[in-house]
Structure 1
């Protein structure tokens, strides 16, 4: 697939087709890595649970017990005995 470099201010850029953006999950921030064959463009994968540990520690420091409140009344047996429908 060929494309052209276009002027973007004092730099240059390329337009990536929507199909490639979707296929390779490229949105927002990307990582550019030079390779012997050319330039590799990769999506930046941010951890989904980034910052959770800090928020849990803050909740505990404020006297909250997030784990106890969330799991209160939950039993493994009830979960396993529930009939699942697909």
Structure 2
């Protein structure tokens, strides 16, 4: 794909189409990687994005149960005082 370098104030930049932005999940920032004669633009992921929505969905589906029983259920906590 060929694209033009455009003037932006005193700098220059690339214009990316809406299709490319959506396809690669590019929001406001990208990581710029310079590698052996190549420039790579990599979307910056938000690792906890949408967690709240997914936790709510898990709760609605009954999937938010503990996977292990209480580890300390039979422990004597008196020795820790």
* TM-score, length-scaled by structure 2: 0.54
1:38-73 per-position Cα deviation (integer Å, ceiling 9, x unaligned): 111111112317xxxxxxxxxxxxxxxxxxxxxxxx
Shift of 1:17: 1.4
Alignment pair present for 1:35 and 2:29: no
Gaps of 5+ in 1: 50-78, 81-86
Structure with higher helix content = 1
Gaps of 5+ in 2: 50-61, 64-81
Q: What is the distance in 1 between the residues matched to 2:19 and 2:46?
A: 22
